[in-house]
Structure 1
Amino acid sequence: MATLTANKVKTIKTLNNIAQTGLNVFNQDQYVIDNNSENPDAIVVRSFNMHEMQFGTGLKAIARAGAGVNNIPVEKCTEQGIVVFNTPGANANAVKELVLTTIMAASRNLFEGISWVQTLKDEGEQIPKLVEAGKKQFVGKEAKGKTLGIIGLGAIGARVANDALDLDMDVIGFDPFISVDTAWNLARNVQRAMTIEQLFENSDYITVHVPLTDETRGMFNKETFSIMKPDVYILNFSRGELVNEDDMKVALEEGNVGKYITDFPNENVLNMKNVVPIPHLGASTKESEENCAIMATRQVKEYLETGNIVNSVNFPNASLPYVGKPRVAAFHKNIPNMVGQITSAISSYGLNIADMVNRSRGDYAYTMLDIDDQVGSDIIPILEEKVKAIAGVVTVRII
């Protein structure tokens, strides 16, 4: 039996500080962490901008320790057969806690009040009197009994919804793409908005948890502000570009939007009134960083050792129980007769296929086939080259 890919020492490169608890997933006898490698087997990254990077021919996977992948050239990776992972849900609790914290704090004008008190530090014994006299300017409102509209009921949105109910808020959710798993975990008292307009019309607070796409870019704008309740509070812990900032500035000045709470401050935002600018703290907890790192590294390890894919943003998710048999894993164009050609290449060497899975995603597909026989060391490179030579195959590994 040949020494297959799964048994070779693999090189991992990190482009940011990755929590050691995550890196510990890579056992030292099979992996080496080398941040100077020009041609690693996999890269683990957080926010490092990879768009100008050139990738070595040995790079098989990139794992983002977080949900967003805007810093990764996903299309380029797909064309080169590099799987890109993210870690949806790993930072969900951290973001959820910050969303609920800012709903409470902003409603009670806590941030403004704290900033004002800091200006009194030189007033000596007069401070208590000044505090009592000045606190009336920070009278706020309670969240209890108010309606929270949640756009996007994924890992974060569902948690926000469930916990907001425990605060005695009414909750309306809108997500036309809600998954079955999320629906099962969502409290039954969360009301379903049939349209996003219905949510806009009925919410006192609106929090958004959707990715940035062509459809969602600028979804908060003059038109949508016009159908919202006056003095609505909008929370954005997803992407700054979801908001048309010029329209938001006008809405804040006119009072149509009461406050804009955003994790994405910039020059425009800092020059608006009634903004609560947060320095991108949504997932900035020790626990979240560790959860993301562990999830990212486990996904990379599973892929390198078995070919199984979960939480990819560019490859189809595909899993096949790994029982130690030689496995052919091919990423290829999603065109007719690809599986037939791959199986023919394998059977041409008198090898029997024990199990297989084929999954597609858009223009590409991923096929794994387990071979029922032992594969000689002389056959492995020849078989790899034969499968790779099939028109439409991007990459192939024998694990």
Structure 2
Amino acid sequence: MPETFRIQTLNAISPLGLNRLDRERFDLGTEFTDPRAILLRSADLHSYDVPHSLYAVARAGAGTNNIPVEKLASLGIPVFNTPGANANAVKELVIAGLLLAARNLYHAADYTKDLVAEQQLSGKDLDKQVEAGKKQFAGFELPGRTLGVIGLGAIGVLVANAAQAMGMKVLGYDPAITIERAWQLSPSVEQVTSVEELFARSDFITLHVPLIEATQGLVSAERIASMPAGSVVLNFARGGVVDEEAVLAALDSGQLHAYVNDFPTEVGAVHPKVITLPHLGASTSEAEDNCAVMAVDQLSDFLLHGNIRNSVNFPEVAMARSPNTTRLGIFNENKPNMIGQITTVLAEAGLNVTEFTNKARGDYAYTLVDVEGEVADELKEQILAIDGVIRARKIEG
């Protein structure tokens, strides 16, 4: 009888996603001690004691800083995310951030509210007092201004295209842009070849990159100094990609007009030129639904068929199932002769291979193979005995 997979949910996940699971094949719960998979959003797994039963982790969102990705890779456990599922929600927030900064809307709204409340104004007095103070919030318009977009993935491309449609000149930087994203990018967006050029030419900078060693402190004092005076930095990526101390100093000196971000800090949240939001990036019902659906579908496809799509620690491997065969999924270190050793074990077991695919990513690789013939229980142990094999399972779809 095919296995029923226990999926442990560590956060509230949209029912639109959970309802896609066949309840004859999947059990959902929050207290499993031996789950086959974990489905989460923001729960921190860094101190999690990984059970041997665990096959996969899926995050209903793009960032995976809350997950020990490399540790799980070493155990043969793929981590899935949902790139692009929340892209429109973040794009809308970035566009809102551009307008908030350019027109000083955030502080103008606070001023009006505080003025009316403190002086208990009404009628003509209210109109007169508000009109008298509005000059301090005079802003500027976006058409003709230059927006620099760092990171041209799903979100960055949407932001670039939307800003260009609003009349802005848009520069983009992403040395690893995919063919798919390049096709989606408006031809009016100019792609530059260095971060330094982008900073020097941009009135606004918006960041759409993961927080990794290479992007830590990407917005630095030196790069801010190269921007035109009165520029704006928008950060809806991760807090650590910006050197906040450098940004606050630039705000104080007038080099920067505003800093708009989604990552409150004790100092930044109270600075008069900072517009800080409570991590609203993907906080729309549509984005939560989209992320849940995408995460559940990827997790289900892996558990039932062994296919890997949108994993952050293993290569993309997907293969149509051959009829009347048994499928094996094998995680291994990326080193020479792994394929030869695996196929030798299968041949010695008298199994005919009908389909086979192997792909590598960094230090690890993943193999899917469909075989004809009876797969004995001891075959798994023979495969695991190969030096470099991390994990193997028989996949009963």
- TM bin (shorter chain): over 0.9
Determine the C-alpha separation between the residues in 2 that align with 1:268 and 1:340.
58
Native 8 Å contact 1:252 1:273 kept in 2: no
Query: Which residue type is aligned with residue 16 of structure 2?
Result: T
Residue 278 (structure 1) aligned with residue 248 (structure 2) = no
Counterparts in 2 of 1:184-263, with a 5 A limit?
A: 184-263=183-262
Q: Who is 1:356 aligned against?
A: 356
The Cα shift of 1:334 comes to 1.1
Candidates 370, 387, 396, aligned match of 2:392: 396
Determine the C-alpha separation between the residues in 2 that align with 1:31 and 1:215.
39
Query: Which residue type is aligned with residue 170 of structure 2?
Result: V
Aligned residue for 2:311, secondary structure, equals coil
Determine the C-alpha separation between the residues in 2 that align with 1:381 and 1:57.
18
Native 8 Å contact 1:39 1:55 kept in 2: no
Candidates 114, 117, 136, aligned match of 2:112: 117
Native 8 Å contact 2:352 2:373 kept in 1: no
Scaled by the length of structure 2, the TM-score of the pair is 0.96
The Cα shift of 1:201 comes to 1.1
Query: Which residue type is aligned with residue 349 of structure 1?
Result: A
Task: Give unmatched runs, 5+ long, in structure 1.
Answer: none
Residue 67 (structure 1) aligned with residue 62 (structure 2) = yes
Of the structure 1 ranges 126-135 and 326-335, higher mean CA displacement relative to structure 2 is found in 126-135
Residue 288 (structure 1) aligned with residue 284 (structure 2) = no
Residue 15 (structure 1) aligned with residue 14 (structure 2) = no
Candidates 356, 372, 378, aligned match of 1:382: 378
Determine the C-alpha separation between the residues in 1 that align with 2:352 and 2:106.
68
Determine the C-alpha separation between the residues in 2 that align with 1:77 and 1:25.
26
Determine the C-alpha separation between the residues in 2 that align with 1:109 and 1:225.
20
Scaled by the length of structure 1, the TM-score of the pair is 0.96
Counterparts in 2 of 1:78-97, with a 5 A limit?
A: 78-97=73-92
Seq. identity, %: 44
Residue 335 (structure 1) aligned with residue 331 (structure 2) = no
Native 8 Å contact 2:148 2:172 kept in 1: yes
Native 8 Å contact 1:100 1:164 kept in 2: yes
Q: Which runs of 4+ in 1 moved over 3 A?
A: none
The Cα shift of 1:87 comes to 0.6
The Cα shift of 1:195 comes to 1.4
Of the structure 1 ranges 115-124 and 295-304, higher mean CA displacement relative to structure 2 is found in 115-124
Q: Who is 1:366 aligned against?
A: 366
Determine the C-alpha separation between the residues in 1 that align with 2:387 and 2:21.
35
Task: Give unmatched runs, 5+ long, in structure 2.
Answer: none
Determine the C-alpha separation between the residues in 2 that align with 1:57 and 1:194.
46
Query: Which residue type is aligned with residue 39 of structure 2?
Result: V
Q: Who is 1:142 aligned against?
A: 141
